[in-house]
Structure 1
């Protein structure tokens, strides 16, 4: 391993707090040569260069504020492969007192999240209904909450879907789900905008798509920096599939995921081989009523980077099969509109680097659903990375209020944002 080791640990304490090293075995979280580690990679400035970094199998955790560096989680072998690309790779050492960052009690565990969901449904039985879309690999419910107001529109209501925590370590996304559950129920009847939207829309919230990974990440009392699910991989002692590389649209097509089960971005043995992806995809497919997909708009919440992203991720091209100029322009205009309210940076997903088998590409390419990823707070690892302090929860979830409501408002006809509702939606708009 030729990567340098940084010798100024005190200067990088925010990074250590952002991403505690995994406490799992080498087989679970890396290769037989050793567990995954975090590295600063200096040099990649373009989407193409960042894509080459990602193709080593490393997880690109964030792009540097100077846009000329990235932080990655990688095995030592992957770090060496990145260095072979001509970049300067620096392993970030973790001081002994930060090896096991304690779980912040301000964040909800899976059991606590279940309690919150149950209470919301009990407190607002006329608005909210809990169901399960299926089970995780270890048998946990993947909860869904349906929220809707007056029912006169019936099945004709457009539906908006919010998904959270595909990646276990992205804990702020669960708090975002709780914020939305609370907002849409407690403010119905008192907030005019929310009341009007719920009377004409149906909201679906899936607060944790990866409950097994979430439990594993926190059950020891210290964060494990766990990303994938907890599904064993046949023929390997490596554990887990990256759920957001396992969706059945151009799966594994374009170097935007890894075929190695030891990789952080392992795409799985086949599309929807992860049970969590399969049951959520089946749920989305079940919302096709009389040949029409009732879900029209979707946000998948992640951390971190403060970005609003839209399809496609598998190609740098704006248009192509399944994505017309109007399709792209409507996505971009909606993304920019939402970013104006939360201060995030709006861009096509592949402007970061190429990914394939992602939920956004599948939602749009397979189901025709306008789909966005929100990379939430912080903007970089210095703000807390995957584990920001609990004191930011209230501000950083409320920060997305207007963006969520704007997308919900356009759910009846997303093309209305570019003035083409008559062409695409007719009298329904």
Structure 2
């Protein structure tokens, strides 16, 4: 199993009572100052247009569920949202919530996850887990790299197939995780896929059939620099982007707004370097994006893209999303009605298997430069975004306790199988 020994520690939840004790802040206490970065529930953004308008104020959108949005906003951004006629409720001081959850200002060298969450894998542990799987199953695995990060970390990829050393003429499927640094549950999702399709080979008929008939590629972390920064010193930073410096002295590009297809086309990402959805100065300016794009480009053999299916795992909101994100249209440049209907049919089937909500990506709000639009728009790969557990939860939505890893990764077994069956 690709797991690590858990050290017992503090619980993961942050209750309002704890917040009051730690910070003195109380919901509804008018005498308390408005925080520099507040966690807000936004009501009234009931349409995709309205939600897109919310994102364009520069807030950090944490999740969307049933029309409500969880965002982190400055006082000016909160005022701008209220000016749009939206109702905001302040749930807490974002920085105080991070402090109470184990976060702090000082960022020492990466150590481990905060006490109680050691079941999650650090970068080194993730690499070791892939190497262990390859050592235990050498005939069906091959570990390589898609490239390097800004800080020089390797971005490993593992291939799982009955003849892993040979490039066979079989449909290929790609699973990618940890695009956004703080979404650590997704790394565990990819490691679970690796564990399931290696340890189950030869004993599980479904697993064996998939490995014998497909070439499965898994990239457990596309943003290891950001992920390591997010847990540096055994504390959470709430970090989303990569660690590439910007010209104005800020740090980080949102990798999932930096892909080349329709980059910056549709006001679905920010030009402000400090924004959480900063698209970067140019398409594929992030080395992590260039690495992933080059890997997928390399799978074009004899003029035919070998990768037929793809899931990019994120947290949180429990959603299954499909292209396009840059437009509300279903039938448009690069998408026929037949193609859209296939996306919708497979997406709804996967959502029925895991209890997520299915939708076109732009049904939430407009985005541009994301991996799923690029995978389909550039390569015609049946590509989905999964927003994993939980359905909501503010800061805790990004940091569920490690007890949730097993049930929330196995929850997607059926969906993974459905994608594999439809990748042809």
TM over 0.5: yes
Answer yes or no: is 1:370 the counterpart of 2:371. no
Q: Report the counterpart of residue 22 of structure 1 in structure 2.
A: none
What is the CA-CA distance between 1:11 and the residue it aligns to? Answer: 4.5
Distance 1:111 1:381, change over 3 A: same
Q: What are the equivalent positions in structure 2 for 1:24-173 lying under 5 Å apart?
A: 36-65=37-66, 67=67, 69-94=68-93, 99-102=99-102, 103=114, 104-150=117-163, 154-173=167-186
Farther-moved stretch of structure 1 (207-216 vs 376-385)? 376-385
CA distance in 2, matches of 1:109, 1:152: 28
Matched, 1:289 2:301: yes
Moved more, 119-128 or 152-161: 152-161
Distance in 2, matches of 1:368 and 1:43, equals 36
Distance 1:97 1:300, change over 3 A: closer
- Which of 304, 308, 314 in structure 1 is aligned with 2:316? 304
- Residue matched to 1:185: 198
- The offset of 1:39, in angstroms, is 2.1
Q: For the Cα contact (< 8 Å) 2:142–2:165, is it kept in 1?
A: no
The corresponding residue for 2:188 is 175
Q: Is the CA contact (8 Å cut-off) linking 1:158 and 1:296 kept in structure 2?
A: yes
From 207, 210, 225, give the equivalent of 1:197. 210
CA separation of 1:78/1:154 partners in 2, compared to 1, >3 Å: closer, same or farther? same
Tell me if the contact between 1:153 and 1:200 (Cα under 8 Å) persists in the aligned partners.
no
Deviation for aligned residue 1:229: 0.3
Q: Distance in 2 between matches of 1:200 and 1:298?
A: 16
Name which of structure 1's ranges 269-278 and 106-115 shifts more when overlaid on structure 2. Answer: 106-115
Residue of structure 1 in register with 2:327 after alignment: 315
Gaps of 5+ in 2: 1-13, 23-34, 103-113
Unpaired runs of at least 5, structure 1: 1-8, 18-33, 413-429
* Aligned 8 A contact 1:74 1:264 in 2: no
Q: 1:35 to 1:132 in 2, by over 3 A?
A: farther
- Superposed displacement of residue 179, structure 1: 0.4
Match of 2:363 in 1: 351
Q: Please, what TM-score do these two structures have when normalized by structure 2? A: 0.86
Cα-to-partner distance string for 1:236-292 (whole Å, 9 max, x where unaligned): 121100000001111111111100001000000011001100111000000000000
* In structure 2, distance between residues paired with 1:240 and 1:267: 10
Residues in 2 aligned to 1:394 and 1:11: alpha-carbon distance in whole angstroms: 27
Answer yes or no: is 1:232 the counterpart of 2:249.
no
Q: Which moved more, 1:69-78 or 1:110-119?
A: 69-78
Kept in 1, the 8 Å contact 2:98–2:395? The answer is no
Give the corresponding residue for 2:409: 397
Identify if the C-alpha distance between structure 1 residues 89 and 296 changes in structure 2 by more than 3 Å, giving closer, same or farther: same
Any conservation in 1 of the 2:97–2:395 contact (CA below 8 Å)? Answer: no
Q: In structure 2, what is the Cα distance between the partners aligned to 1:356 and 1:120?
A: 36
Q: Which whole-Å CA distance do the structure 1 matches of 2:267 and 2:96 have between them? A: 36
1:93 deviation in Å?
Answer: 2.5
**Does residue 257 of the first structure (1) align with residue 258 of the second (2)?**
no
Q: Is the partner of 1:375 in helix, strand or coil?
A: strand
The structural deviation recorded for 1:118 is 1.2
Contact map agreement 1:158 1:200 (CA 8 A) in 2: yes
* 3-state SS in 1 of match to 2:329: coil
* 1:31 aligned partner: none
Q: Please state how far the C-alpha of 1:96 moved relative to its aligned partner.
A: 5.7
Aligned-residue offset at 1:98: 5.9
Show CA shifts across 1:122-174 (max 9, x none).
11111111111110000000110011014799531110000000000001001
Question: Offset of 1:406 from its aligned partner?
Answer: 1.2
For 1:265 and 1:114, how far apart are their aligned partners in 2? 28
Equivalent pair of 1:151/1:199 in contact (CA under 8 Å)? no
1:258 counterpart SS class? coil
Deviations along 1:47-72, whole A, 9 cap, x unmatched?
1100000011222211244x2x3111
- Alpha carbons of 1:100 and 1:131: their partners in 2 closer, same or farther (altered >3 Å)? farther
Paired residue total: 384
- Alignment RMSD: 2.3
TM-fit CA distance, 1:387: 0.6
